[in-house]
C-alpha cells in the first residue's frame, strides 16, 4: 500500500501528498517495556493559482485592475512583470492576493502582464494581455473655414490618430459625399477637389470612426469669385443729327458678381464711339471700308480687307488718298501694284470739289455700280466691278470690289514707278457716267502702257446736274507690297477741274444728243483706223491684235511679241524657246538616247533596236528608256554585246552517273562510260579489270597490269616490251652509259655480269673490283717502299692516278649520291635536315629520304608533294538521302542538303527549285536553292576572293541586275566573328575573306541573290548555302 514499515522501524510513505502531513507517532515495545516518539511531517507543494488575471481591453484614460492569488507550501511569493520588465507597484492584501492598479492608462500601458508565483518547490506564471484603445482624435479645431479661388484646387485636411486606426468618411451638408471625377481622397484621408466651381461650396464633415469612438470635423468651403462684366448693352443714340457725334454704352459687373473676397471687374464699365447719322450738306465721306476678292492670272485669292482715308488740301484744291489692303498672297500682291484703278471710285467719289465741279458723291450719294476694264499693251485684259453701298452709321463709304483677268507676269519681278495721268469723266445719260484714261508707267526703266475705261451707273435725277466733262488729275502715286505681312499700301493725290471750253461741250468721240447728254460716236464705222481689228468704245475706238502681238500706240498697228526675249515664255528649264510670228514654241533639249518629238515640246525615247540599220546586239535587243539592253538566248551569256555559249557541264548539271556534253546553247547528259569502264548497279562508271577477267592481250613473258580505264603489258626486269602481245626483248645493259661495271661487262639474258682483271676480285656490289697493289711511298728522298695499300676500283670508273714531282699517288673517288666523305669514310647525308625537301614530313633513309603526307593525302609522283585524296570519288562514298558527299582536305563529310517542303529536287545534286504558276517574285520566297561546297587551304590572306556566285533564271539566262547579301554565317572556329564578306561586281557576287584563314574548321554561309527589273520590281530570288572547309595545312 501507500505506507510501508520496515523491520528496522522506518516508515516509508509512497507518493506523499499534502493530506499526508501531520504528526506520526513511533511506538517501540519489548518485554522490558515500551517507548514512543512523535514525528511532525510537513508536505511542501508547488504553487497553484486560486485566482487568475484575465485579458483586458480599455480605452485610453480608464483604470486598469488586475488580481492574482496563489497557494502552496510554503506560501508562494508573487511578483509582476510588464512587457518583460519588473513591475514594482503591485499590492498584496492579508489573504496573499496581489493586485496591479493603474489609474488613467495610456497607450504605453498596453502589453503583456505576467503574474509569477514561486516557492522553493517551483514557480508558475499567469499571463494577461492588456489592450489600450485610443478613440479617434482630430488634430486642430473642430470647425474650420477655407476659401479657394474659382478654378483652383482645395485640400481639405482631416489628420486623425487613434488605435485601432479609425475609418474616415466624408459628408457634405450632412449627406454622404457624392464623389466626382474632380475629387480624390489621399492616403491620409484628406480630400482634394480640383477645378473648384461655385457648386462645390458647402460644409464638409470629416467623420473618423473606430470601435474606440467617433470624432468629427466640419470644414466650410467657400469659393472666391472674381467679378466679370456682362455683355455690352446696345449703343445709345448719336449725339448729333448730322455730321459726327458720340454714342455711349455700358456694361454691368454681374457676370458673375465678386464673392468671398474676389476681385472686382477690371476695365471700363462705359464705352463711347464716334457716330454719324448722315453727312451734313456739302460734306463728303472721309473714310472708305470694303473688301477685294477675285482671280488674277487664274490664281484665286481670298477676301482682302480694304481701308482708305481721305484728306483735303484746301490751299491746293487737292485730295490725298491713303489706302491699305491686307491678306494679299505673294502670287498676286506684286502684280496689283499697278492697279491704281482699283481705287478709282474712291478717289473720284471723295475728291475735293469746287463751286463749278461735282465729285462722285454729289452725283451718286455713295450708291453706284462701276464696271472697269484695263487693257495692257501686251494684250492682257483685267476687269473690275465696284459696288458702292452708301455710308454706314459712322459716315464711312462702303464699297466691295471683284477683280478678274490677267496682268503681265513680268510685273512681279520688275521695279515699278507709277506716273501721273489724267482721267476724263463725261455724262452719257441719266444716271450714267463714262470715264477713260491712258496711263504710261515705268517698269524697270521701260514704259508700261495700259488703257482704262469705267462705266458708272447710279440713280440719277431727271435733269442733268453739273458739267458734261470733268478732268480728274491723278499724281504723286506710290504703291508698296510687303511679302512678309501680305499687305499692299497706296498713296494717291487727285485734283478735279473742268477743261477749258467743255462745260457744255462734248469731248472728241462724243456728240451732244437731244437730252443734253454726250452720246458715243462710232469711229470704226466712219473710217478704218486699225491694222487688224477695230472696236468701237465709248468716246473713241480701240485697235486690238491677235494673241502674240502688241499694238503700236503711234501707228495702231500690230507687231509680233518676242516672248523668248521678253521672258514671258513658259518653257521648262530643259527646253529651248523659239519665237514664231504671233507665238512661240518650246523645243526640248534631249539627252543621249532621246530625240525631240514632232511637236518639239517633249523628248521621246530612241528605239535603238528598231531604228538602227544593224542590230546593236548579237541575239536579242530590248529597248529601254534612253538606251537599250542586249539579252541572249537560253544557254548563252552576254559578254559585251556578244553572246557566248555557257558550258553547263562546268556547273555539274548532270547526275554523277552520267556524262555531260556541251552543245551550242545547251548540253546533253548521257550514260555511256569511257573505254575500259563499265556501268555499276548505282549508275557510276567503274573500271574493268581486264587482267582479272582474262580479256587482256598480254602474251609470252608479259605480265598484265590493270590501270583505270585500261591495262598494260609489263615485261620482266631486264627486258623491254615491243607492244601488247609481242615477245619481250632483252636489254643489253653493257651498252648503257656510264658502264655498269668497273672493268669489263658481259651481257646475259635479262641481266649482265661484271668481269675483273687478273689479280683482283669482284666485290659484293657485283660491279667493283679490288686487289693488292704496291704503293710507292717514299720518305726523305729515298727509294725505300714503306708499305703496301689495297687498291679501290670504283664501279663508276677507273682508279685515279695523280703525279706530283714524279711521285704517283692513288686518290679516292667521291662517295655515292646520298653519302659524304668524312675522314675517308662515306657517311649518310640527312637530307631532311639540310634541305627540307618534303612538303609535309620527311623521314631520312640510308643514302636517301622518304616523304610522308598527312592522313587523307597521297604522295605525288615527284615523291615530295602531297595531294588530297578525293574520298567521295576514289572511294565511292555513298551518303544518305538528302545528303551530299563533301570532300575536305584530308577527309570528307556527308552534309545534309534537304529541299524545303515547297521545293522540288533539281536535276543536279544539291539543287532545289520552287515551281510557280504566277510571277515567281510575288510569291514571297526564293525560286532556286543551291548547295555549294568549297575547300580552302589555311593561310589565305584577308581581302582574297574565294567564290564567285552568279544568278540564272529558270531558262538559264544570267541575271546581271542582281544584288547579293549574306543572310547567315556560322563558323566552327570559335569566336572569330565574321570570316567572309560579299560584294556585287558586274551582276555577280564575289565572296572574299575578311581575315587570314589560320584556323581549320567548317563555315556555313547562306547568301541571297535578288534580281531587280528596270522598273525596280523583284523578278528572281535565289538562295545559296555554301559550306567552306578550311584545312589545317596550307595545301
Q: Look at residue 385 in the predicted model and tell me its pLDDT.
A: 94
* Segment 4-61, tens digit of pLDDT: 888 888 889 888 887 888 999 999 999 999 999 999 988 888 999 999 999 999 988 8
Mean pLDDT on 345-353: 86
Residue 496 to residue 243: CA distance in whole angstroms: 24
Burial bucket for residue 933 (CB in 10 Å: 0-12, 13-18, 19+): buried
Chain centre to alpha carbon of residue 721:
81
DSSP state of 182: T
CA atoms within 13 A on the CB side of 19: 3
Residue 256 to residue 468: CA distance in whole angstroms: 65
* 794 has a pLDDT exceeding 70: no
DSSP state of 617: S
H or E stretch covering 80: strand 77-82
What band does 205 get if pLDDT is binned at 50, 70 and 90? very high
Q: Tell me the C-alpha to C-alpha distance, in Å, between residue 104 and each of 76, 101, 128, 970.
A: 31, 10, 18, 84
Q: Percentage helix, strand, coil, to 5, in the chain?
A: 5, 50, 45
Residue 595 to residue 605: CA distance in whole angstroms: 6
**Pairing assessment for the beta strands 318-325 and 487-497 based on DSSP bridges:** antiparallel
* Segment 915-961, tens digit of pLDDT: 654 445 444 445 788 889 899 998 899 999 999 988 776 566 777 78
DSSP state of 364: H
> Which of 179-188, 424-433, 436-445 holds the top average pLDDT?
424-433
Q: Look at residue 804 in the predicted model and tell me its pLDDT.
A: 41
Residue 864 to residue 854: CA distance in whole angstroms: 13
Please name each of the domains of the chain with its CATH number.
3-41 (no CATH), 45-133 (2.60.40.10), 139-224 (2.60.40.10), 287-521 (2.40.155.10), 673-744 (2.10.25.10), 897-1030 (2.60.40.60)
* Segment 56-89, tens digit of pLDDT: 999 888 999 999 999 988 899 999 999 999 998 8
Residue 774 to residue 777: CA distance in whole angstroms: 9
Angle formed at CA 527 by CA 523 and CA 530, multiple of 5 degrees: 85
* 705 has a pLDDT exceeding 90: no
End-to-end CA distance of the chain: 113
| 3-class secondary-structure state, position 74 | coil
741 CB-near residues (< 8 Å, 6+ apart): 734, 752, 754, 755, 767, 795
* Segment 1019-1034, tens digit of pLDDT: 778 889 999 999 988 8
* Contact by Cβ (8 Å): 547, 582: yes
- Work out the number of other CB atoms within 10 angstroms of the CB of residue 290: 22
* Segment 507-541, tens digit of pLDDT: 888 888 888 889 888 888 877 788 888 888 777 78
246 CB-near residues (< 8 Å, 6+ apart): 238, 239, 240, 272, 273, 274, 275
* 792 has a pLDDT exceeding 60: no
Nearest residue to 364 (alpha-carbon basis) of 348, 352, 344 = 348
**Pairing assessment for the beta strands 213-224 and 143-149 based on DSSP bridges:** parallel
User: What cell does 700 get?
Assistant: 609470252
What band does 789 get if pLDDT is binned at 50, 70 and 90? very low
H or E stretch covering 137: strand 123-138
Q: Which stretches does DSSP call E strand in 774-927? A: 789-792, 800-804, 807-811, 819-822, 825-828, 841-845, 848-852, 857-859, 866-868, 883-888, 891-896, 904-905, 911-913
Any alpha helices (H) in 287-392, and if so which ranges? 344-350, 360-364
3-state secondary structure 13-29: ECCCCHHHCEEEEEEEE
The reply to whether omega before 76 is within 30° of 0 (cis) is: no
H helix and E strand count, the chain = 8, 82
| 3-class secondary-structure state, position 649 | helix
Mean pLDDT of the chain: 84
Residue 889 to residue 1033: CA distance in whole angstroms: 8
Q: Cell 462701276 appears where?
A: 370
Furthest-apart CA atoms within the chain: distance in Å: 204
User: What cell does 392 get?
Assistant: 454706314
* 279 has a pLDDT exceeding 80: no
Residue 616 to residue 325: CA distance in whole angstroms: 66
- Length reported for the chain: 1035
Residue 34 to residue 30: CA distance in whole angstroms: 6
What band does 901 get if pLDDT is binned at 50, 70 and 90? low
- Work out the number of other CB atoms within 10 angstroms of the CB of residue 884: 16
- Work out the number of other CB atoms within 10 angstroms of the CB of residue 123: 16
| 3-class secondary-structure state, position 563 | helix
User: What cell does 25 get?
Assistant: 507517532
Q: Is the dihedral of CA 88, 90, 93, 98 positive or negative?
A: negative
Q: Look at residue 746 in the predicted model and tell me its pLDDT.
A: 92
Of 283 and 787, the one with more pLDDT: 283
Q: Look at residue 73 in the predicted model and tell me its pLDDT.
A: 86
Q: Look at residue 672 in the predicted model and tell me its pLDDT.
A: 64
Residue 1035 to residue 1031: CA distance in whole angstroms: 8
DSSP state of 505: S
* Segment 858-884, tens digit of pLDDT: 999 988 899 999 888 888 888 877 788
440 CB-near residues (< 8 Å, 6+ apart): 419, 421, 447, 448, 449
Q: Which stretches does DSSP call E strand in 165-212? A: 167-172, 175-176, 183-185, 191-193, 202-210
Residue 164 to residue 482: CA distance in whole angstroms: 78
What band does 973 get if pLDDT is binned at 50, 70 and 90? low
Of 802 and 316, the one with more pLDDT: 316
942 CB-near residues (< 8 Å, 6+ apart): 993, 994, 995, 996
Q: Look at residue 637 in the predicted model and tell me its pLDDT.
A: 86
Q: Look at residue 819 in the predicted model and tell me its pLDDT.
A: 84
* Segment 219-263, tens digit of pLDDT: 999 999 999 999 999 999 888 877 778 889 999 999 988 988 889
861 CB-near residues (< 8 Å, 6+ apart): none
Q: Look at residue 798 in the predicted model and tell me its pLDDT.
A: 38
| 3-class secondary-structure state, position 398 | strand
Q: Tell me the C-alpha to C-alpha distance, in Å, between residue 315 and each of 102, 312, 319, 347.
A: 115, 9, 11, 18
- Work out the number of other CB atoms within 10 angstroms of the CB of residue 262: 17
CA atoms within 13 A on the CB side of 908: 18
Residues 774-794 as b/e (b if ≥16 CB within 10 A, e otherwise) read: eeeeeeeeeeeeeeeeebbbb
Nearest residue to 979 (alpha-carbon basis) of 1027, 1032, 1034, 1033 = 1027
874 CB-near residues (< 8 Å, 6+ apart): none
DSSP state of 107: G
Nearest-10 Cα torsion for 852, 854, 860, 862: -30
Choose the weakest-confidence range: 439-443, 996-1000, 1028-1032. 439-443
* Segment 980-996, tens digit of pLDDT: 999 988 778 999 999 89
User: What cell does 837 get?
Assistant: 625537301
DSSP state of 958: B
Q: Tell me the C-alpha to C-alpha distance, in Å, between residue 1025 and each of 10, 200, 272, 301.
A: 112, 76, 91, 65
Angle formed at CA 234 by CA 229 and CA 240, multiple of 5 degrees: 130
* 582 has a pLDDT exceeding 90: no
Q: Does pTM surpass 0.85? A: no
Q: Look at residue 404 in the predicted model and tell me its pLDDT.
A: 93
Q: Look at residue 926 in the predicted model and tell me its pLDDT.
A: 57
Amino acid at each position: 500500500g501507500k505506507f510501508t514499515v520496515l523491520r528496522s522501524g522506518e516508515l516509508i510513505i509512497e507518493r506523499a501528498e499534502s493530506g499526508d502531513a501531520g504528526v506520526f507517532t513511533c511506538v517501540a515495545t519489548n518485554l522490558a517495556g515500551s517507548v514512543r516518539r512523535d514525528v511532525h511531517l510537513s508536505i511542501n507543494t508547488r504553487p497553484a493559482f486560486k485566482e487568475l488575471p484575465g485579458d483586458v481591453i480599455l480605452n485610453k484614460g480608464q483604470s486598469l485592475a488586475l488580481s492574482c492569488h496563489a497557494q502552496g507550501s510554503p506560501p508562494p511569493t508573487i511578483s509582476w512583470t510588464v512587457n518583460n520588465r519588473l513591475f514594482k507597484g503591485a499590492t498584496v492584501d492579508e489573504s496573499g492576493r496581489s493586485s496591479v492598479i493603474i489609474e488613467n492608462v495610456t497607450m504605453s500601458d498596453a502589453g503583456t502582464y505576467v503574474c509569477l508565483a514561486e516557492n522553493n518547490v517551483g514557480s508558475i506564471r499567469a499571463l494577461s494581455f492588456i489592450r489600450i484603445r485610443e478613440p479617434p482624435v482630430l488634430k486642430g479645431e473642430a470647425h474650420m473655414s477655407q476659401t479657394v479661388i474659382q478654378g483652383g484646387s482645395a485640400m481639405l485636411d482631416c489628420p486623425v490618430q487613434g488605435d485601432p486606426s479609425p475609418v474616415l468618411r466624408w459628408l457634405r451638408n450632412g449627406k454622404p459625399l457624392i464623389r466626382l471625377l474632380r475629387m480624390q481622397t489621399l492616403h491620409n484621408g484628406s480630400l482634394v477637389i480640383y477645378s473648384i466651381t461655385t457648386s462645390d461650396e458647402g460644409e464638409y464633415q470629416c467623420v473618423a470612426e473606430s470601435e474606440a469612438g467617433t470624432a468629427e470635423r466640419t470644414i466650410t468651403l467657400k469659393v472666391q469669385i472674381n467679378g466679370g462684366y456682362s455683355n455690352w448693352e446696345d449703343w445709345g443714340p448719336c449725339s448729333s443729327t448730322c455730321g459726327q457725334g458720340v454714342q455711349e454704352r455700358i456694361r454691368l459687373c454681374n457676370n458673375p458678381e465678386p464673392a468671398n473676397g474676389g476681385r472686382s471687374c477690371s476695365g471700363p464699365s462705359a464705352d463711347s464711339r464716334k457716330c454719324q447719322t448722315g453727312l451734313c450738306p456739302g460734306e463728303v465721306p472721309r473714310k472708305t471700308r470694303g473688301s477685294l476678292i477675285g482671280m488674277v492670272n487664274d490664281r484665286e485669292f481670298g477676301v482682302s480687307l480694304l481701308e482708305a482715308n481721305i484728306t483735303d488740301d484746301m490751299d491746293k484744291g487737292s485730295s490725298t488718298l491713303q489706302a491699305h489692303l491686307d491678306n494679299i498672297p505673294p502670287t498676286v500682291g506684286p502684280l496689283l501694284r499697278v492697279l491704281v484703278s482699283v481705287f478709282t471710285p474712291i478717289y473720284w467719289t471723295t475728291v475735293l470739289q469746287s463751286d463749278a465741279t461735282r465729285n462722285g458723291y454729289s452725283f451718286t450719294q455713295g450708291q453706284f455700280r462701276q464696271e472697269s476694264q484695263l487693257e495692257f499693251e501686251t494684250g492682257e485684259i483685267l476687269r473690275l466691278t465696284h459696288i458702292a453701298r452708301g455710308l454706314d452709321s459712322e459716315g464711312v463709304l462702303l464699297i466691295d470690289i471683284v477683280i478678274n483677268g490677267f496682268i503681265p507676269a513680268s510685273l512681279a519681278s520688275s521695279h515699278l514707278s507709277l506716273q501721273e495721268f489724267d482721267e476724263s469723266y463725261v455724262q452719257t445719260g441719266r444716271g450714267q457716267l463714262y470715264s477713260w484714261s491712258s496711263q504710261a508707267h515705268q517698269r524697270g526703266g521701260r514704259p508700261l502702257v495700259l488703257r482704262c475705261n469705267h462705266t458708272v451707273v447710279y440713280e440719277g435725277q431727271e435733269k442733268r446736274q453739273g458739267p458734261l466733262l470733268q478732268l480728274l488729275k491723278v499724281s504723286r502715286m506710290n504703291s508698296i507690297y510687303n511679302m512678309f505681312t501680305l499687305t499692299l499700301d497706296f498713296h494717291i493725290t487727285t485734283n478735279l477741274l473742268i477743261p477749258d471750253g467743255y462745260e457744255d461741250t462734248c469731248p472728241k468721240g462724243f456728240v451732244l444728243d437731244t437730252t443734253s447728254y454726250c452720246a458715243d460716236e462710232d469711229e470704226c464705222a466712219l473710217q478704218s483706223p486699225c491694222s487688224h481689228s477695230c472696236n468701237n468704245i465709248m468716246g473713241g475706238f480701240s485697235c486690238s491684235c491677235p494673241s502674240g502681238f502688241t499694238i503700236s500706240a503711234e501707228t495702231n498697228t500690230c507687231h509680233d511679241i518676242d516672248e523668248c526675249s521678253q521672258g514671258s515664255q513658259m518653257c521648262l528649264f530643259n527646253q529651248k524657246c523659239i519665237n514664231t510670228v504671233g507665238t512661240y514654241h518650246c523645243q526640248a533639249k534631249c539627252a543621249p538616247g532621246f530625240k525631240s518629238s514632232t511637236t518639239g515640246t517633249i523628248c521621246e525615247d530612241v528605239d535603238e533596236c528598231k531604228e538602227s540599220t544593224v542590230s546593236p546586239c548579237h541575239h536579242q535587243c530590248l529597248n529601254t528608256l534612253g538606251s537599250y539592253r542586249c539579252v541572249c538566248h537560253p544557254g548563252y551569256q552576254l559578254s559585251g554585246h556578244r553572246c557566248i555559249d555557257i558550258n553547263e557541264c562546268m556547273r555539274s548539271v548532270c547526275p554523277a552517273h552520267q556524262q555531260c556534253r556541251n552543245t551550242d546553247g545547251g548540253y546533253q547528259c548521257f550514260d555511256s562510260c569511257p573505254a575500259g569502264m563499265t556501268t555499276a548497279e548505282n549508275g557510276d562508271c567503274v573500271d574493268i579489270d581486264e587482267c582479272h577477267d582474262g580479256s587482256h592481250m598480254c602474251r609470252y613473258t608479259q605480265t598484265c597490269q590493270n590501270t583505270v580505264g585500261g591495262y598494260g603489258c609489263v615485261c620482266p626486269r631486264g627486258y623491254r616490251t615491243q607492244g601488247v602481245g609481242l615477245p619481250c626483248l632483252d636489254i643489253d645493259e653493257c651498252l648503257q652509259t656510264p658502264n655498269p661495271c668497273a672493268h669489263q661487262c658481259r651481257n646475259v639474258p635479262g641481266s649482265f655480269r661484271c668481269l675483273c682483271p687478273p689479280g683482283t676480285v669482284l666485290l659484293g656490289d657485283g660491279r667493283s673490283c679490288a686487289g693488292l697493289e704496291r704503293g710507292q711511298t717514299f720518305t726523305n728522298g729515298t727509294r725505300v717502299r714503306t708499305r703496301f695499300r689495297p687498291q679501290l676500283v670504283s664501279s663508276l670508273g677507273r682508279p685515279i692516278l695523280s703525279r706530283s714531282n714524279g711521285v704517283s699517288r692513288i686518290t679516292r673517288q667521291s662517295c655515292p649520291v646520298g653519302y659524304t666523305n668524312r675522314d675517308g669514310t662515306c657517311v649518310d647525308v640527312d637530307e631532311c635536315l639540310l634541305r627540307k625537301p618534303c612538303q609535309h614530313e620527311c623521314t631520312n633513309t640510308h643514302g636517301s629520304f622518304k616523304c610522308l603526307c598527312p592522313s587523307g593525302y597521297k604522295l605525288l609522283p615527284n615523291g615530295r608533294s602531297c595531294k588530297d585524296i578525293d574520298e567521295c570519288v576514289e572511294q565511292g562514298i555513298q551518303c544518305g538521302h538528302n545528303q551530299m558527299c563533301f570532300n575536305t582536305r584530308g577527309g570528307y563529310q556527308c552534309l545534309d542538303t534537304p529541299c524545303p517542303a515547297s521545293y522540288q529536287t533539281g536535276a543536279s545534286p544539291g539543287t532545289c527549285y520552287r515551281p510557280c504558276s504566277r510571277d515567281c517574285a510575288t510569291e514571297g520566297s526564293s525560286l532556286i536553292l543551291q548547295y555549294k561546297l568549297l575547300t580552302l587551304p589555311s593561310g589565305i590572306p584577308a581581302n582574297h576572293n574565294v567564290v564567285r556566285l552568279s544568278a540564272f533564271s529558270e531558262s538559264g539566262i544570267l541575271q546581271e541586275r542582281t544584288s547579293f547579301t549574306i543572310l547567315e554565317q556560322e563558323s566552327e572556329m570559335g569566336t572569330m566573328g565574321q570570316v567572309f564578306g560579299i560584294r556585287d561586281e558586274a551582276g555577280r557576287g564575289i565572296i572574299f575573306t575578311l581575315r587570314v584563314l589560320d584556323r581549320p574548321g567548317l563555315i556555313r554561309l547562306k547568301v541571297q541573290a535578288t534580281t531587280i527589273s528596270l522598273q525596280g520590281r523583284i523578278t528572281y530570288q535565289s538562295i545559296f548555302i555554301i559550306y567552306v572547309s578550311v584545312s589545317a595545312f596550307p595545301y
